[in-house]
Structure 1
């Protein structure tokens, strides 16, 4: 006798946008972006592949929804720090975005390949631009800083996740660099090889973020 919780024989599992999105994120975390296809997603949900297109017309639509989901709560997480100084709030927003992308395997690749305009993504952008405009930055500088912060954060996280996903299957980037750099041909690189091959991604991110903020402080001309 079948369990009372089992679906009636022959009935397909329930499918909707929310379940499709959750399953796609689970599949991403287990197998990575390259393995995420609409067919594999349909198999994981035990449905026909065509059923998915009722909710996501293309894979790009699905990736956009995944990217939007990933950054949910980023602006709120940064606000929870209680920082009131513009530079500290900007740093908190960048850190929160990085953490959100790191929370999912290949999260930065998913986010970088989409142009989401949902409430979460626009909320993050609105918060960044608002922080800067209220601090006295011009509208143009505030908008361009949004792109700079987002591009730096996503780009850094792309490299970080790529390094973390190698799992020792191939020589690591630091090992490759050490083997390629010689004192005779690359004296400056050789002198800085310790820093160039450092895999402390937290430290590297904070250094770049501080450089960005220092440059903004130098440019800051409150009106």
Structure 2
């Protein structure tokens, strides 16, 4: 017979694990993970609250509404962009910074759409833009030329560009594809000539289909090389009736 141990006292209840408290950073990072997994269209305050295991009202203590949530998600993505290498030439440093932005956004396919939808820039976004301008200025590029270079870069500073018109995929059936190109060639011969370059198997970077990374870096280099040339020429903005910037 087992004698109860009177000294042991009453048994204590098993402690309930404490839930990690919410804060703004946790909410934003959870939203980024949600958008990465389910798409930005599926993101709502309610769906995010379900992922975090809280009621929707708990989120409003940290973000006022969905627009502020989206602003914060952009902050998280932009804040993760690697800084440029110290001491690099200004052109190489700008190039590296923009390609780092492209790499960061590549992990978040929704980010381009959200960045373009923002109506104001948050401090993190402004800091990124300020850093790019600072690289130009530190390299001796004038404030005036830097101003125009930032305009020329446009969305490319974030690592993405927009096509002017969407290009539909050609039919998979060889006969239908051939008929489509034949008809298009009769109407738009130059477009077809350029478009079919990408399908030539000649070992060029465009062979076998457009390489988006190559096209992005090509355009970026064209812009930066142009800015460097104008900088070396001591370019200033021409007045009315003056020659073009390339003159």
Calculate the TM-score normalised by the size of structure 1. 0.77
Quick check: which one's helix share is greater? 1
CA gap of 1:212–1:113, structure 2 versus 1, over 3 A, is same
Partners of 1:100 and 1:156 in 2: CA distance: 11
Structure 1 unaligned spans of 5+: 164-171
Q: Please tell me whether the aligned partners of residues 135 and 222 of structure 1 are also in contact (alpha carbons under 8 angstroms).
A: no
Structure 2 unaligned spans of 5+: 1-12, 172-176, 200-208, 236-247
Name 1:117's counterpart in structure 2: 122
Computed over aligned residues only, the root mean square deviation of the Cα atoms, in angstroms, reads 2.9
Match of 2:43 among 36, 44, 49: 36
CA gap of 1:135–1:153, structure 2 versus 1, over 3 A, is closer
Q: Are 1:140 and 2:135 matched, yes or no?
A: no
Count of aligned pairs: 202
State the shift of 1:158 in Å.
6.1
Partners of 1:113 and 1:100 in 2: CA distance: 18
1:30-88 per-residue CA deviation (whole Å, 9 max, x = no partner) reads 01111111111111112221221111112111111111111124252x22xx5621111
Name 1:129's counterpart in structure 2: 133
Name 2:4's counterpart in structure 1: none
Partners of 1:38 and 1:125 in 2: CA distance: 29
Name 2:240's counterpart in structure 1: none
Rg bigger for which structure? 2
Name 1:51's counterpart in structure 2: 58
Name 2:211's counterpart in structure 1: 200
